[in-house]
Structure 1
């Protein structure tokens, strides 16, 4: 069961890598717009994160850090909201507001930092 949990963790990390990678391509490629790949990466990270939040496959004596899980969930929901609103604005106006675009990248990095630094 622990091996399955590690596989789900790997999928979770892949989701964040896809989201941040797709964002970085747009940020440093000059277009600065939201892509479908960003939404796919966020969805993968969200689904795998929800599976990881369930208390299964943990070694004996290990407790879940629900404050960390809740914080990561709130940040992920904000990223999802920004992607949804920004994609809608992009369809209507042809571009994403710069603040929204940069916030997605910053919050994705913050979420990864929370995952690795917060114990």
Structure 2
């Protein structure tokens, strides 16, 4: 069961890596836009995170405050991506505030996962 949990943690990290890596790529190339790959990264991270929040087969107590904070941040990132993608389709441009907010929140979510014990 522990190996399965480690595999799900890996998938969770890959989801955030896809989201943040795609965001960094767009930022480095000075393209202020959201891509479909960002949505996929968010979906992968969200599904794996929800699976990790299930207390099956572990001997320790889960930190539900941390999980709640991470879930709220994930939902905000999803909302910003949804709003940004809709505006981007309609006007073919994206607010830099939306773009930079997604990057900062994604970084913050990964930092919370690693630093908050």
Q: Tell me the CA shift for residue 57 of structure 1.
A: 2.7
Matches within 5 A, 1:46-57: 46-57=46-57
In structure 2, what is the Cα distance between the partners aligned to 1:4 and 1:51?
Answer: 11
One of 74, 80, 85 as aligned partner of 1:87: 85
Q: SS of the counterpart of 1:34? A: coil
What secondary structure is seen at the aligned counterpart in 2 of 1:21?
Answer: helix
Show the 5 A alignment for 1:23-102: 23-58=23-58, 60=59, 62-102=60-100
- The match for 2:111 is 113
Counterpart CA distance in 1 for 2:49 and 2:3 is 16
Superposition deviation, residue 31 in structure 1: 1.2
> 4+ residue runs of structure 1 moved beyond 3 angstroms?
none
**TM-score normalised by L of structure 1:** 0.97
Aligned-residue RMSD, C-alpha:
0.5
User: Any unmatched runs of 5+ in structure 1?
Assistant: none
1:32 Cα offset (Å): 1.3
Pairs aligned (count): 117
TM-score of the superposition, structure 2-length normalised? 0.98
